[in-house]
Amino acid sequence: MKVKYAILGAGISGLAFAGNLNSDNFVVLEKESDAGGLCRTHKACGEYIWDFAGHFFHFKNEESRRYFEPVLQGSKCVRQIKNTKINFRNSMIDYPFQKNIHQLKKEDFIDCLYDLFFKEEKEIYTSFKDMLFGKFGKGICDRFLVPYNEKLYACDLDELDQDAMGRFFPYADLTEIIQNMKNGNNVSYNDHFIYPVDGTYTVIDYLLRQVEKEKIHLNEEVLSIDPIGRRIVSTADTYEYQYLVSSIPFPQLLELMGECVPECLSWNKVLVFNIGFDRPSIDRSLHWVYYPDKDVNFYRVGFYNNILRQNKLSVYVEIGYEHSQEVDVSGQYAQTLSNLERCSVIDKHKVTAYESIVIDPAYVHISAESMKYVGEKRKSLAQNNIYTTGRYGEWTYCSMEDCFLRARELSSRIGNGDIR
């Protein structure tokens, strides 16, 4: 089959690209049985709304707000002012930790404040960990920033670039931290969020309406790509394309082209448990909670029922793994229930439904070397009309809104011939 555009992946990026094309000469290849990628939603026991971990919309951009307005208005979604906490030594501290050290016990507070004041800042930092200590001092880093992010990324933080989290990291200087002790202000990029009452798939379903159904080939896995001959072999067909647009993970794209994946491209994977219980939340105000304690197997717990203003406790629990580690689902599930009770999330609650999901890749490990390699490789691929988009296609850290906007922008540039 000959097509102008071959699009790999029917997640938010692939669908946004396809839906913005001024052409019907394309195909979207998706190996899963459903579109949506990591934005798929499950409904368990007719009452629990479960995503592939927590996905929330912030819509900082007018274009995306207008686009999704028909499907995310009125009773179709809930709007929340974020209420997130940190479980620090069994006490709840406001997030972010570095702006709320005054809520700690006296000894911890004094250590954090002292080290914050006498921290040794640098003009150039060598790693993410180096940046944390330089900007926030040993007290804050040892208590939260280092242990939490090590659990999240499942790697040595010295392996990450100083700006690995970009705008998503809640920076704060000494003045802001001191001011926050009297006039609390924990505003961040996601202090308000929107969540569809039927889960994140609501957005995917809306994107699907903009794409002809027959153009999306589900259950069709790509087996190989010939970048010179511009040919794709899948489990169902062979495609000759003019443009290849990939939203699949960058290392996977390299493998399909017969190339080796360099060591600089690393990532973690995340085991997610979605669990429904027979009783309400103990605290009905919380949206999600962070857990830096290394003795607790999970790093974050989110409360679907509190977000959706529903009755029975429904949570997602996230556990970080190195990408080469074997995932022990049954062992982690037992630990999770024990630690949920230990952390006062449950108390004599009974499980009525649960599921496990392994997200692989989950968080990209961004380093100076990986950014350099991916940047140069994407330029090289573009010379053969191969373009990548999305969090995993671009091998970066970004939001769902970013994925949507970048995919549409790429679609417009290719369609207008404005590709460099």
**Weakest mean pLDDT among 53-57, 74-78, 293-297, 401-405:** 53-57
DSSP H helices in 233-367:
250-256, 304-308, 329-342
Bond preceding residue 262 cis, omega within 30 of 0: no
The whole-model pTM stands at 0.95
Cβ count near 125 (within 10 Å): 17
Q: Per-residue pLDDT averaged across 137-156, rounded?
A: 97
DSSP sequence for 323-361? TTSPP-HHHHHHHHHHHHHHTTS-SS--EEEEEEEEESS
| pLDDT bucket at 74, cuts 50 / 70 / 90 | confident
Give all strands (DSSP E) within 9-139, no chain letters: 26-29, 41-44, 48-51, 77-81, 84-88, 91-94
Q: Which amino acid is at 283?
A: D
If you search the block for the tokens 């373009």, which residue do you land on? Answer: 387
Q: What is the pLDDT of residue 176?
A: 87
Q: Are the CB atoms for 285 and 292 separated by under 8 Å?
A: no
Q: Which amino acid is at 131?
A: M
DSSP H helices in 154-270:
174-180, 201-208, 250-256
**Weakest mean pLDDT among 236-240, 290-294, 415-419:** 415-419
Instruction: Provide the token pair at 338.
Output: 């024990």
Q: Per-residue pLDDT tens for 291-344?
A: 999 999 999 999 999 999 999 999 999 999 999 999 999 999 999 999 999 999
Q: What is the pLDDT of residue 172?
A: 83
Q: Is 324 exposed, middle or buried (0-12, 13-18, 19+ CB in 10 A)?
A: exposed
Q: What is the pLDDT of residue 178?
A: 87
Res. 419: pLDDT tops 80: no
* Partners of 280 in the β-ladder: 312
CATH topology of domain 266-359: Alpha-Beta Plaits (3.30.70)
Q: Per-residue pLDDT averaged across 213-225, rounded?
A: 98
Cα distance between residue 313 and residue 154, in whole Å: 28
Q: Are the CB atoms for 331 and 279 separated by under 8 Å?
A: no
Q: What is the pLDDT of residue 189?
A: 55
Q: What is the pLDDT of residue 417?
A: 66
Q: Are the CB atoms for 358 and 271 separated by under 8 Å?
A: yes
Mean of pLDDT over the chain: 94
Q: What is the pLDDT of residue 192?
A: 86
| pLDDT bucket at 190, cuts 50 / 70 / 90 | low
Q: Are the CB atoms for 311 and 354 separated by under 8 Å?
A: no
Q: What is the pLDDT of residue 174?
A: 86
If you search the block for the tokens 């990986």, which residue do you land on? Answer: 370
CATH topology of domain 2-41+61-78+197-264+367-415: FAD/NAD(P)-binding domain (3.50.50)
| pLDDT bucket at 184, cuts 50 / 70 / 90 | confident
Angle between helices 128-140 and 106-117 (to 10 degrees): 130
Over pLDDT 90: what percentage of the chain?
Answer: 86
Res. 191: pLDDT tops 80: no
- DSSP label at 144? I
| pLDDT bucket at 368, cuts 50 / 70 / 90 | very high
Q: Per-residue pLDDT tens for 33-54?
A: 999 999 999 899 888 999 988 8
Please list, in sequence order, all residues whose beta carbon lies within 8 angstroms of the beta carbon of residue 249, skipping any fewer than 6 positions away. 267, 361, 392, 393, 395
Over pLDDT 70: what percentage of the chain?
Answer: 98
Domain boundaries, the chain: 2-41+61-78+197-264+367-415, 96-180, 266-359
| pLDDT bucket at 55, cuts 50 / 70 / 90 | confident
| pLDDT bucket at 186, cuts 50 / 70 / 90 | low
Q: Are the CB atoms for 268 and 322 separated by under 8 Å?
A: yes
- DSSP label at 379? H
Q: Per-residue pLDDT averaged across 390-402, rounded?
A: 95
Helices (H) and strands (E) in the chain, counts: 13, 19
